[in-house]
Amino acid sequence: MLALAAVLAVGWIAPGSTRADGDPTIAAAGDIACDPVDSGYHGGTGTKKACHQLDTSNLLMSADLSAVLPLGDDQYECGGLSAFQQVYDPTWGRLKSITYPVPGNHEYMTTGGTDCDPSQSAAGYFAYFGQAAGDPAQGYYSYDIGTWHLIALNSNCPDVGGCSAGSQEEQWLRADLAAHSNFCTLAYWHYPRWSSSGNVKGSAAFWTDLYNANADVVLSAHKHNYERFAPQDPNGNADPARGIVEFVVGTGGKSHQGFRTPAPNSQVRDASTYGILELTLHPTSYDWQFVPAPPGTFVDSGSGSCH
């Protein structure tokens, strides 16, 4: 943990506060709900170290949100429908009507948890979220919030025909970016492109397309910690003029994961706090704040401009 990572923490707003500008606020995190038979589930209250999905969902409930973005591994251990109904639904599911999810690797797992889908098609995830999750054969889609364009991508590449340049999903992404001229663009998927807990390179083509289209922010999870990166180009070079800011927000409640050697351009890291990332989307800029679940005290906040 970086002590008071909020060296850049300016203008932190308590959960539930009303923003005078009236611009929409969204909240995101991944790696969320424990399996109902997890030893740490403890009847829904969790333990000191695990299964804090109720605490993070309470942060959502106390905020004035336009959308909730679960960043994958929304329901452990295998995304079974029964598990979603027992654990995710009474916590994060309380905001299901404004939820725009992406799947994680655990949604595609076939064993190891409650009500697993042996077909490896994330059937429980798509059954639970319905049309909000997009076409079950794809799991990617886009929409607008306020003046912003948001793109939900599926980084479980082997399960959707690949994510590399020329794949169906990558071609769809390029077409979607070309079809939307919003000044500000945010994309999100499960596996992070960059992380001090180890990179996952399957989304390299996504980053290239987004960079070429002057996108602004990427959200991911998978690593059970919080990390913020300075703007980067597709090769991981610092690029304050055109680079994309990445937030890794695997702090939804399941468990924590430490860091290795800090990755280039990593600016803020915390591996001991559950919480959510809130972003307020202005017409040409955005504000962010990491909101900790009690008893956490780590915060990080600031502002950025769109390209």
Closest CA relative to residue 177, chosen from 190, 168, 186, 189: 186
pLDDT at 59 over 60: yes
Look up the domain containing 91 and give its range.
Answer: 23-305
User: pTM of the predicted model, to two decimals?
Assistant: 0.93
Q: Is residue 9 over pLDDT 90?
A: no
* Per-residue pLDDT reduced to its tens digit, 240-261: 999 999 999 999 999 999 999 9
- Residue 65 resides in a domain: yes
pLDDT band at 17 (very low <50, low <70, confident <90, very high): very low
Q: What is the dihedral of CA 306, 69, 248, 32, to 10 degrees?
A: 170
Q: What is the pLDDT of residue 16?
A: 35
61 lies in a domain? yes
The predicted pLDDT at position 199 comes to 72
Res 28 pLDDT > 60: yes
Least-confidence region, from 9-13, 83-87, 217-221, 224-228: 9-13
CATH number of the domain encompassing residue 63: 3.60.21.10
In the 3-class helix/strand/coil scheme, how is 207-239 assigned residue by residue? HHHHHHCCCCEEEECCCCCEEEECCECCCCCEC
**3-state SS record for 176-197:** HHHHCCCCCEEEECCCCCCCCC
Q: Is residue 11 part of a domain?
A: no
Check if the beta carbon of residue 261 is closer than 8 Å to that of residue 227: no
Whether 108 has a pLDDT exceeding 60, the answer reads yes
Mean of the per-residue pLDDT values of the chain: 93
pLDDT at 18: 37
Tell me, what's the pLDDT at 12? 29
**H-helix or E-strand spanning residue 58:** helix 53-61
200 pLDDT band (50/70/90 cuts)?
confident
Query: For 40-50, what is each residue's pLDDT tens digit?
Result: 999 999 999 99
Quote the Cα angle for 228-233-236, to 5°: 65
Distance (Å, rounded) from C-alpha 36 to C-alpha 16?
29
Mean pLDDT over 107-133 rounds to 97
Q: How many domains does the chain have?
A: 1
Whether residue 119 has pLDDT greater than 50? yes
In a domain, residue 12? The reply is no
Task: Tell me the pLDDT tens digit for each residue of 179-193.
Answer: 999 999 999 999 999
Q: What is the pLDDT of residue 21?
A: 58
Q: What is the pLDDT of residue 304?
A: 98
Residue 18 burial by Cβ neighbours in a 10 Å radius (0-12, 13-18, 19+):
exposed
Question: Do 175 and 165 touch, CB atoms closer than 8 A?
Answer: no
Residue 59 lies in a domain: yes
Tell me the three state secondary structure of residue 174.
Answer: helix
Residues above pLDDT 90, as percent of the chain:
91
Backbone angles phi, psi at 200, to 5 degrees: -120, 110
Mean pLDDT of 288-292: 98
pLDDT in tens, 124-158: 999 999 999 999 999 999 999 999 999 999 999 99
* HSE (side-chain half, CA atoms, 13 Å) at 84: 24
Q: Does residue 9 fall inside a structural domain? A: no
Backbone phi, psi, residue 172, to 5°: -60, -40
